[in-house]
Amino acid sequence: MNEVILCKYGEIVLKGANRQNFESSLLKELRRRASPYGIFKIYFKQSTIYVEPQNDECDVDGMYEAARRVFGIVGVNRAAVCDKNIDSIMAKAREYLPEKLLGKRTFKVDAKRSDKSFPLGSPEISRIIGGVILECVGGIRVDVHNPDVTVTVEVRDEHAYIRAGQESGAGGLPIRTAGKGLLLLSGGIDSPVAGCMMAKRGMEIEALHFDSFPYTSDRAREKVLDLAQLMCEYCSRIHVHVISLTHIQEEIRDRCDEDYFTLLLRIFMMRLAERCAREYKCGALITGESLGQVASQTLAAIGVTDSVVNIPVFRPCIGLDKNEIVIEARRYGTFDTSILPYEDCCTVFTPRHPKTQPKREQVMAQLEKLDVEALLDEAYATMYTETKLIFPEYK
């Protein structure tokens, strides 16, 4: 074993009696993510998770990238492993560090001696390894205040580890430590971001997509599945349920005032989502709404749609503007797929002048023109779950 992956976790260390549950969930998720890349030994010690390849066939590069997308991990780095004596540490530094420091102008060494029986103190280890770097890496100098890279030497119970720099992890809390939420997943930019943001807070994500065939195409549905597949890179496995809204939209168009089309459709979506959430034991709905972004996302409109369900509705994007949401979409890798030109159900029968400040009693009067419960039952009966969406480690 010449190299390992070290994963640092953040706010988990602040947990009290519950901490072991969070650590256990994080280990389970890492082990799931590791299966496509080979056989790894994964365990934690002293607020660090060790990911050790067990043979030469292991794809360490692939596992490293996978670990960076696991919620609950704040820092990821590759480290060389050597025996716990200063000669071995120096030899490994000469072998391992020149490539890692290529192109860097300044560095500092930070030594951490967890094993207090080691004969040298942290300052002395730092001085010795700093001298080795200056000998074997040309054109580099020490800067202890603002270095281009920090070389860390950790002397732990069984081995010593040498690493250069650390990349940020996904942060947050491990998946499945904060219950399950049902994401209303469209083909737009916002809802995939909302799902990832709640997954970052430890939520397991189920997804519900509303279909309006033949007004929307099969390609629009495929786009949503592509988005869910991309989300799986961060959110782990996602089940995508699909409900047809075609008849509901036609009934709204034929029987209700045009200004209310979008709001009425949203009410049906929330009612159906609540039913789906209860069936799949989700404790909340998740939407990609951002306050004031479109007509159905004004404070008054949100108040009306929330009033028809008896389940919490989480809107993690509510205070973000479009540019901020786009930044997050790029971070999670969903942006390029979200902007593909395949329209979803929300663009069908869009009113010319949608109500932005609706009164609840006016909306309820519009609903009285429809056989609401029959339409809900009919739509819910169309629901099916996509089976082809399988994240690699679950095959």
Rounded Cα gap, residues 139 and 128, in angstroms: 18
Evaluate whether 192 touches 230 at the Cβ level (below 8 Å).
yes
Query: How many angstroms separate the Cα of 23 from the Cα of each of 65, 73, 166?
Result: 20, 10, 21
Nearest-10 crossing angle of helices 60-68, 19-34? 140
**What confidence category does residue 394 fall into, taking pLDDT thresholds of 50, 70 and 90?**
very low
158-163 mean pLDDT: 92
Interval 318-371: pLDDT, tens:
999 999 999 999 999 999 999 988 766 566 667 677 778 889 999 999 999 999
Cα maximum dimension of the chain: 84
pLDDT tens by residue, 87-105: 999 999 999 999 999 999 9
Nearest to 316 by CA among 287, 353, 284: 287
Q: How confident is the model at residue 390 (pLDDT cuts 50, 70, 90)?
A: low
Q: What is the mean pLDDT of the chain?
A: 92
How far is Cα of residue 197 from the mean position of the Cα atoms in its chain?
6
Check residue 161 and give its pLDDT.
95
Please state which architecture CATH assigns to domain 3-168: 2-Layer Sandwich (3.30)
Lowest mean pLDDT among 93-107, 239-253, 285-299, 379-393: 379-393
Q: What pLDDT is recorded for position 200?
A: 97
Domain locations in the chain?
3-168, 180-394
* Amino acid present at 122: S
Residue 169, pLDDT above cutoff 80: yes
Q: Is 3-168's fold the same as 180-394's?
A: no
The pLDDT value recorded for residue 215 is 85
Give residue 46's pLDDT: 75
Q: pLDDT band for position 395 (50/70/90)?
A: very low
Percent pLDDT > 90 in the chain is 78
Pairing of strands 180-184, 204-211: parallel
Rounded Cα distance, 41 and 54, in Å:
7
- Entry pTM: 0.89
Query: CATH class for domain 180-394?
Result: alpha beta
Confidence of residue 189 (pLDDT cuts 50, 70, 90): very high
What the block records as the tokens of 307 is 């009033």
SS3 53: strand
Q: What pLDDT, in 10s, does the model give residues 256-269? A: 999 999 899 999 99
E strand or H helix at 289:
none
